[in-house]
Structure 1
Amino acid sequence: MRAVVVENYDRIENIAIKDVAKPDISAGMVRVRIQAAAVGFVDGLKVQGLYQTKDPLPFTPGSEFAGVVDEAASDVSGFAPGTPVLGMVRNGGLAQYVCAPAADLFATPDGIAPEVGASFFANYLTALYALSARAKLRSGETLLVLGAAGGVGIAAVQVGKLLGARVIAAASTEEKRQFATKFGADSSLDYTREGWRDELKELTGGEGADVIFDPVGGELSLQAFRSIAWNGRHLVVGFASGTIPALKFNLPLLKGGALLGVDLAQIGRREPEVRAEVIAQLFTWLSEKTLVPVVGRVFPFERFHEAFAAMATRSALGKMVVRID
């Protein structure tokens, strides 16, 4: 089979598609013929060896995928060959086949295209877990989403609306702000403009945001926290800006605010029941078409480099997806 293979941590343009052995099936596993795989910010870091944990070399990047069952181990039931599935693994998604534990695979709801299924898991699981389980976002509260046009940002916009919040999308260009508004944001603001906090204050009637969803980091995080409402919750989701901010402890005291970490990689191990509840809710929305995941751009397998490049630019809208032939 063909797969993207990282033999040395390097820039994505130096990584190639290679012919490798088709993965063998072991107990409890299902082999999936991949139709589409997503490319996220973490994948770009892993390829370069810059992520907080390093995948042993060689490896195939890509954690989110959608496809059809090729074959299941003899001890696995419910995954007949040809069954459309989607799932998330540590790595291996940018390949024609992947072996995944049956517990990490889910039947794809009817009418969901592979490109949509591949862009679904990480972003929407992060958004709903963060907003419902961590921040306890309530209907009628104000949610400020930083980096609202990115993959996880637009997921937070959609999930926030489904939870009944008033959503303010913060993004750096008019195109991004229109994109966020198209998918549910009630209002938007330009966080690159001087005085954006005054605009946020006006939008919230002087109260500030009840919940801040923050995948950006850097100076923007510090400024946003200074505009949080009393008893507000600031969700630390990631650091797309490349800078980890340092918050002075007097600010949470003065604002009555809470800083809440969100680490998708640990949810399954530390809170399996909560993870199961969140996934069940997401699949209910997905099956009912209440939630339609946003797909950014779709690239053919041979142009996977372009998907990574698009994901890394500040102009990216939504999740980048690679179609696997």
Structure 2
Amino acid sequence: MVESQAVVVPPAGATIFLVATVTPGHEDTVRGLLEDVAGLRRSVAYRAPEDLLTCVVGIGSAVWDRLFTGPRPRGLHPFVELTGEHHRAPSTPGDLLFHLRARRTDLCFELARLLTERLRGAVTVVDEVHAFRYFDERDLLGFVDGSENPQGRPAHESVFIGEEDPDFRGGSYVTVQKYLHDLPAWQALPDDEQAKVIGRTKAANVELPDGAKPADSHVALTTITGEDGGERKIVRENMPFGTVGEGEFGTYFIGYARTPDVTEQMLRNMFLGEGRATHDRILDFSTAITGCLFHVPTADFLDDLPAAPGSLEPGGPGGDRS
């Protein structure tokens, strides 16, 4: 049985997102760290097991072939930049993602410190976000975020790769974007107008009926239906962040999915429009400043990495690893 990384977990009280690029010539250092991530997490989590420290590692397209021989995950490619009539989703550098979650900030901080200490000189941290739970799972716009996430078996079916890519069964894909909010402009809207932008009521977190939900609302444009008529889901683990002295307020979007196709369709709808909507109205108040796509390998993959390029070692998904 394949052991996946801890992608589907209860909501966290604290999160740190680290995105890094790998310095050429230091791939062996990165491989050594990837094999030790699980042990480092256990070392920190042992101090407070009840606070549920987890670490998910994602690996980007540009660095994959520098780290491993053998096949690539079928859906792994660079984040697709989108330029619409009104808004843009940029593609930004990112070879590694570390998604750290716990009930307490200190556990995330200590693990982040250990990871970056091991990688010093081998990577450049290009984005670091310390995020937090805000009241009852709300974002800084005041709306509950992630309430439509699938639960239980449907969540696993939405997130984890199956037999469509057997070499990477049990892995996942994760898309991340950092959004900054124009809070003064947002707060100038009455609550009923904010609800129309989101497609849900603010206080009760109830989705607006179809007749009252605008075509350009966030909910309308991010509801994706498959060929069978069923809704295609992702698992969002979004978290708010901010720096009050600098007036920076944002949401770190992070969406896990079995295939990046679903998230990419959501983003196309948001930035390029769909039907009567030219774009998602939330983008009039929230600006995307980063965009990366990563493959999330299984825990088994990280424990026993495929051979490095140029190495004679056996291994790799589907290879002789006996």
TM over 0.5: no
TM-score by length of 2: 0.28
If asked which structure has higher relative contact order (CA below 8 Å, sep 6+), I would say 2
- Which has the larger helix fraction? 1
